[in-house]
Amino acid sequence: MDKAIDILKKTLDDNTLISASFSAPRSKDDLRNINIQALSLDEVKVEFRHQKHNDIKTLKKSELDLESYFFEFKQCLIKDENNEYQILLNKKRKSKIIIKEVSAIKVNHNRQKNYLIPDGEKCDWLFEIGVMDKDGKVKSNYYKKFRQINRFLEMVNDLYKDAEDKKYHLIDFGCGKSYLTFALYHYFTVIKKFETSITGIDLKQEVIDHCNEVATKVNFSNLKFVHGFIHDFKTEDPIDFVVTLHACDTATDDAILFSLKHNAKKMMFVPCCQHELNKQIKNAESNIMLKHGIFKDRVTALVTDTMRTQLLEACGYKVQSMEFIDLEHTAKNILLRCVKTNKSDKQKEDAFKLYEDFRNQWEIKPYLEKMMMENNYLTK
């Protein structure tokens, strides 16, 4: 086991770690998997996957309890920029390690893509948050994050590539480390040359302070970050675009309600954990599926996002569902992209009737519908 720990420690110390995934738990406890992904020189994202929910934490590398992880699981897959390490641990915790070299051809092929933010072209904010080096070259252990940023901007560009307005106000709820918030500001102000103000909102004060420091350092004068909950944020200014990525449970619904209240023209959501409907969902014809925890989790996620999509269509939006990033990075990879349209009252009513049939099929009483009714956002 010591050799396995040393391999993972070395990838962390050398900043070459891409991901580490622990599976096959030894006990019958609730914890099923642990996934670790590199975020920065000092921090990693750790996802603890339980039977009915996931806990996602940002930890310092020094806070990782690697010995405990290896002790509790029979398998671990470690990926760095050069190799994949498949580690198998027997009952005595003796390890068998299978090493597979990563193909350099695949990496070089990926780097040929014509990104909105190119590799090799210095971008100050990407340097400040650790993705690029001082010469503008993307660091090898951040290339997946770099591709994610550009994938996100491609989705945004689909909405704004032919935009005629030149002034925009954006809100990013649950901005976290704010890679994508900075990317948004870069896209609107540097690439599109639009007059733009963006506010990022998160519950971690230390994250907010750091992001404000970086924004000041790179002269992003109309980008600011504030601490607070979605429902506490107040503004009198019109809102053009609302983004919420991986907001847990009904926090995504609160962001949708905020968007409706401020008549946002466009929204993009990547929902996360779906606890609310997991406790409610029933379907007499699907009991054999819902009795399995992992199946129920996945069905609940799909039902929740379908419910949101249909309710938004009943409020006059065109909604597209698409894959945000590859499933190998996170199971929460569905993005909902919403655009305000001029639907007639009849079209909205028909959309709501379809929603009602769907809701009754699963015997759910969603928070989002309740709040939409109370605020008269729906046409019945």
Model pLDDT for residues 77-99, shown as the tens digit of each residue: 998 878 899 999 898 888 899 98
- In the predicted model, is pLDDT for residue 272 greater than 80? no
Is the CB of residue 241 less than 8 Å from the CB of residue 185? no
Q: Where in the chain is the domain with CATH 3.40.50.150?
A: 112-374
Please tell me the least confidently modeled range out of 30-34, 254-258, 295-299, 327-331: 327-331
Q: Distance between CA 338 and CA 168 in Å, rounded?
A: 17
Q: What is the pLDDT of residue 211?
A: 94
Burial per residue of 146-155, b for 16 or more beta-carbon CB atoms within 10 angstroms, e otherwise: bbbbbbbbee
pLDDT of residue 329: 44
pLDDT of the residue at 107? 44
**Composition of the chain by helix, strand, coil, percent to 5:** 40, 25, 35
Bigger pLDDT: 372 or 245? 372
| Spatial CB neighbours of 354, under 8 Å, sequence gap ≥ 6 | 310
Q: Would you state the pLDDT for residue 225? A: 96
Instruction: Give yes or no for residue 192 having a pLDDT over 90.
Output: yes
Q: Label residue 316 by pLDDT band (50, 70, 90).
A: very high
**In whole angstroms, what is the distance from residue 373 CA to residue 380 CA?**
9
Q: Is the pLDDT of residue 250 over 60?
A: yes
Residue 205 CB neighbours (<10 A): 10
4-24 tens-digit pLDDT: 999 999 988 888 888 899 999
Task: Tell me what pLDDT residue 113 has.
Answer: 62
CB contact set of 324 (below 8 Å; sequence gap of 6+): 151, 152, 155, 270, 333, 334, 335
Which whole number is the average pLDDT over 232-250?
Answer: 86
Which SS3 state, helix, strand or coil, does residue 167 take? Answer: strand
Q: Is the pLDDT of residue 103 over 60?
A: no
Pairing relationship of beta strands 334-340 and 266-270 according to DSSP bridges = antiparallel
The CA distance from 34 to 124, in Å, is 34
Q: What value does the mean pLDDT take over residues 343-372?
A: 95
Relative orientation angle of helices 293-314 and 345-362, to the nearest 10 degrees:
160
Beta strands in 107-185 (DSSP E): 167-173
Identify whether the C-beta of residue 144 lies closer than 8 Å to the C-beta of residue 182: no
Report residue 266's pLDDT band, with 50, 70 and 90 as the boundaries: very high
What is the model's pLDDT at position 328? 42
Task: Return the pLDDT at 274.
Answer: 72
pLDDT value at position 102?
Answer: 67
Residue 109 above 80 pLDDT? no
The matching CATH number, chosen from 2.40.50.140, 3.10.590.10, 3.40.50.1820, 3.40.50.150, for 112-374 is 3.40.50.150
Of residues 320, 313, 315, 304, the one with CA closest to residue 359: 304
Give yes or no for residue 54 having a pLDDT over 50.
Answer: yes
Percent of the chain, pLDDT > 90? Answer: 53
**How far is Cα 354 from Cα 361, in angstroms, rounded to an integer?**
11
Higher pLDDT, 217 or 326: 217
Q: Assign 330 a pLDDT band (cuts: 50, 70, 90).
A: very low
**E strand map for the chain:** 17-25, 31-38, 43-50, 54-60, 73-80, 83-89, 95-101, 167-173, 195-202, 223-227, 241-245, 266-270, 317-323, 334-340
Give the three-class secondary structure for 145.
helix
- The stretch 260-279 carries a mean pLDDT of 89
Rounded alpha-carbon distances, angstroms, from residue 215 to 148, 183, 375? 20, 12, 36
d(CA 230, CA 201): 8
34 band by pLDDT with thresholds 50, 70 and 90: very high
Q: Average pLDDT for residues 187-211, to the nearest whole number?
A: 94
Tell me if the pTM is above 0.75. Answer: no
Placement of tokens 């569905």 in the chain: 334
- Which residue type occupies 118? P
